[in-house]
């Protein structure tokens, strides 16, 4: 089954301070008939999460204010079933170790393409359904 047919029924949240990435990802998802909430800061994302649950949460590591790992730690109890993906250009051992402890399912290194996002989501959704 096509990944986007599954994503149409899912709530997806992207947190990235780069406007180009937010706009590109939003357009990519919309072109596939899917909806993506794209926000600039972790603080905005926490407000959004307080209003509804998300099936997939994609966040950049470096954000203004709270970083991506702090954000994921903050929402861990309220979003335990969400698929969590960390985007980073700074994938050093400390970041990877901390993210693994938080249950991050996947890392995407910057720069990335829409194809990488699609493959990552396909893999994670397929494996989540088998758990």
Instruction: Select the CATH number that applies to the domain covering 18-61+68-90+103-112 from these four: 3.40.50.620, 3.40.50.2300, 3.40.50.10470, 3.90.1150.10.
Output: 3.40.50.2300
pTM over 0.85: yes
Q: Give the whole-angstrom CA distance, residue 89 versus residue 111.
A: 7
Cα torsion angle, 59, 55, 9, 44, sign: negative
Please choose, from the candidates 77, 7, 70, the residue with its C-alpha nearest in 3D space to the C-alpha of residue 41: 70
Boundaries of every domain in the chain: 18-61+68-90+103-112
Mean pLDDT confidence for 100-127: 87
**C-beta pairs of 70-75 under 8 Å, 24+ apart in sequence:** 70/42, 71/15, 71/42, 71/45, 71/46, 72/99, 72/102, 72/104, 73/102, 74/42, 74/46, 75/45, 75/46, 75/49
Residue 66's pLDDT is 96
Q: What is the pLDDT of residues 83-94, one digit of tens each?
A: 999 998 876 778
- Percentage helix, strand, coil, to 5, in the chain? 45, 20, 35
Q: What is the pLDDT of residues 4-45, one digit of tens each?
A: 888 999 999 999 999 999 999 999 999 999 999 999 999 999
């Amino acid at each position: 089954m096509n990944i986007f047919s599954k994503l149409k029924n899912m709530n997806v949240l992207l947190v990235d301070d780069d406007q180009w990435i937010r706009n590109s990802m939003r357009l990519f998802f919309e072109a596939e008939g899917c909806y993506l909430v794209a926000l600039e800061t972790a603080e905005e994302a926490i407000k959004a999460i307080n209003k509804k649950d998300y099936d997939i949460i994609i966040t950049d590591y470096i954000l203004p204010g709270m970083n991506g790992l702090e954000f994921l730690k903050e929402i861990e109890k309220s979003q335990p079933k969400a698929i969590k993906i960390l985007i980073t250009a700074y994938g050093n051992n400390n970041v990877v170790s901390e993210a693994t402890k938080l249950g991050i399912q996947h890392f995407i290194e910057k720069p990335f393409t829409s194809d990488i996002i699609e493959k990552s989501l396909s893999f994670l959704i397929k494996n989540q359904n088998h758990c």
